[in-house]
A and B are shown apart, each in its own frame.
Chain A
Amino acid sequence: MDNYPALIVIAPLLTAFLAGIAVWIRERLAYPIALTGLAVSIFSAGKVLMQVITSGTIQYRLAGWAPPMGIEYRIDLLNAMVLLLVSSIAFLNLVASYKSVDQEINDRAGSFYTMYLLFVTGLLGVTVTGDLFNLYVLIELTSLTSYAMIALGDRDRAPLASLNYVFIGVIGASFYLLGVGYLYMQTGSLNMADVANILSGIQGSSTVLTAFILMMIGIWIKMAFFPMHVWLPNAYTYSPIGFARVVAPLMTKVMIYVMIRLMITVFGFDYIFKTLNLSDAVVWLGTIAILSGAVMALSQKNLKKMLTYIIVCEIGYMVGGAWLGNQLGMTGAILHILNDALMTFALFLAVGNMAYRLKKLDLTDLQGLFGKMPWTMAGFVLAAFSIIGVPPTCGFFSKWYLILGAFEAGAYHFAGALIISSLLSAVLFFKVFEICFFEPMSKDHGHGESHSQVVIEEAPISMLFVSGLVSLSLIVAGLYSGTIVNTIILPFLK
């Protein structure tokens, strides 16, 4: 049974159709079907990761067609790690979503689960594929489902936020497609490994340069890298929480993975850092992204929106780290894909728990939450510490590699931005803690005693369980980060 690479993608795809049909019979059937599909994905991704660690890169030919003509799934250590990450987060979020989807969009729960599966299919496909055009189609599959899912959210603002995302998303995808076109003109191939082979014999072609720049800009738009980030905060804030929890940690991280894949596998380090010499400019952009993301997060009054700006800030970390041009920086960027996905997920799970009970998430609504929802807040504090970069949590270790890489490359401005943004996020989260901890609950004592009697209690056990599990995994990932770097990232970069 060595069809696991295909099974990772096919399981959620087929179950998406099944769930879509099942909705016509009974709405309730969609949920168990979705769970099964993603469980198969996790299992296959785990198998594939084991296989890659023991016996090296897997090249899987879809339908048996040989690579330059057919589509190839090529799984090395980096893919395998991201695949397991994506499928696990998608599965865990589905467990937590049962209650919140019921509460938020229960009239369209069936279509939610169907689109959720298609979205995860797209993410997994983007990660697994070794074909440039296939990558475009799957990116668009991911984006299309997220446009639709975002529109399921806040009835007043979500459709408009989603439409703005459509416009910008289309520009991003089209730039990427255009870049693939230029690359195809020069090489006549769409398979990543084959293109890399042909490119290594071509020096100083302006067509390749155009292709590279277009593809990078396209991917940057899709990942919301700083000047192109405007779509992200609104789209993620107004989407239903069940979707925000999965799109916030995964979409941007998978796009970072695509960028690293293009840089390492397709164009190659020598081309990017020796021939082009663009790294300084991009590291500066990353620095600006980090600082402006942190500052904009500081000025937000809504918790969910504040966290979306933290995502913008974290993207600066990873893009800057990947473009430092040394092994330490790249190690930090890849480790941060894992860590940032986990900590953003933990943060949004805690926010999801709050949203389940609170309905509104302005910072002033959070007063006294430590007393009301102690477990949720414990998870939130752990995740916040990880974002700040407090040592036992995983956020510290990837930040450490990034800072070491910045010093090695002499990019002191980048190291400075990392430290300043850590301080800013410390300020940010302690502001939230203060509101949640110290200020009393009763702000409208005078009028309507019954109004302030609304009892806020802990979120349902399924949501608490997932939230606790992921928050603890932040510490586990931190403790084992040495193992992760030694068994996965360093062998991959060799």
Chain B
Amino acid sequence: MTDLLPLIVAKYNYWLYVILMMIGLYAMIAKNNLIKKLVGMNIFQTAIILFYVSIGYKTDATIPIIQNAHGGGSHGAVIHAADYINPLPHVLMLTAIVVSVATFGVAMALAVRIYQRYQTLEEDELRMRLIDIGPEE
């Protein structure tokens, strides 16, 4: 236990994303309501986005904008990459956010279709309705 605690504290960002991911996964597997499952799916995706954001971070670094780069103020000044956080994972996540929003949109549209057809979003009720429609092919 004494060994484990520093490990958790030192790498807390990974623990956080894993916990969030598991919450999302739990909701996707265990919840009965389709909208709750969708929310779980979104938490799951957000956990990964947070993971990416956290790996771009460096201690004592600032945002990756070079000050006065156009004004000529930084003439001769050496720019250290270590002074700036890594912007690439953050940029990647802009795309991933778009993907997750699109997925969420499609999934919501499907949920609406299901609701219009069956007047319910509870999975067990849907299963009963499907049995009523006819034998499972």
Contact = CB atoms under 8 A, between A and B. Distances in A.
Interface of A: 133, 136-137, 140, 144, 147-148, 151, 155-157, 159-160, 162-163, 166-167, 170-171, 173-174, 177-178, 181, 184-185, 237, 301-302, 305, 362
A181 B103 contact: no
A161 B77 CA distance: 60
A170 B137 contact: no
Given A170-B45, A174-B45, A160 B107 contact: no
Nearest to B49: A177
B110 A181 contact: no
Contacts of B130: 156-157, 160
Given A144-B106, A156-B133, A178 B48 contact: yes
Contacts of A181: 48, 51-52, 55, 89
A167 B36 CA distance: 12
A301 B103 contact: no
Interface in B5-48: 25, 28, 34, 37, 41, 44-45, 48
A170 B117 contact: no
Contacts of B107: 147, 163, 166
Contact of A166 (B55, B106, B133, B137): B106
Given A144-B103, A170-B45, A137 B37 contact: no
22 contacts: A144-B102, A147-B106, A147-B107, A147-B110, A148-B109, A156-B117, A157-B130, A159-B113, A159-B114, A160-B126, A160-B130, A166-B41, A170-B44, A170-B45, A171-B25, A171-B28, A173-B99, A174-B48, A184-B55, A237-B137, A302-B137, A362-B137
Interface range for B: 20 to 34
A151 B110 CA distance: 7
Contacts of B44: 170-171, 174
Contact of A162 (B55, B110, B117, B126): B110
A166 B103 contact: yes
Given A156-B117, A159-B110, A177 B48 contact: yes
A137 B98 CA distance: 10
A137 B48 contact: no
Contact of B106 (A148, A174, A237): A148
B96 A177 contact: yes
Shortest 10 CB-CB distances between A and B: which pairs? A302-B137, A159-B113, A163-B110, A140-B99, A166-B107, A159-B114, A159-B110, A147-B106, A174-B48, A170-B41
A237 B137 CA distance: 9
B51 to A, nearest CB: 6
B61 interface: no
B92 interface: yes
A205 B5 CA distance: 23
Given A140-B99, A159-B113, A166-B106, 13 more contacts: A133-B95, A144-B106, A147-B107, A147-B110, A163-B34, A163-B111, A163-B114, A166-B107, A167-B28, A177-B48, A178-B48, A184-B89, A305-B137
A159 B117 contact: yes
A255 B102 CA distance: 21
B59 to A, nearest CB: 16
A210 to B, nearest CB: 11
A148 B113 CA distance: 11
A116 to B, nearest CB: 16
Contacts of A140: 99, 102-103
A137 B25 contact: no
Contacts of B103: 140, 144, 147, 166, 170
A137 B88 CA distance: 15
Contacts of B51: 178, 181
A305 B28 CA distance: 26
B106 A133 contact: no
Contacts of A163: 34, 107, 110-111, 114
Looking at A147, A159, A173, the one whose CB has the most chain B CB atoms below 10 A away is: A159
Contacts of A151: 109-110, 113
Looking at B48, B89, B107, B137, the one whose CB has the most chain A CB atoms below 10 A away is: B137
Contacts of A147: 103, 106-107, 110
B114 A160 contact: yes
Contacts of A144: 99, 102-103, 106
Contacts of B95: 133, 137
A362 B136 CA distance: 11
Interface string B46-68: 00100110010000000000000
Contacts of B110: 147, 151, 159, 162-163, 166
Contacts of B89: 181, 184
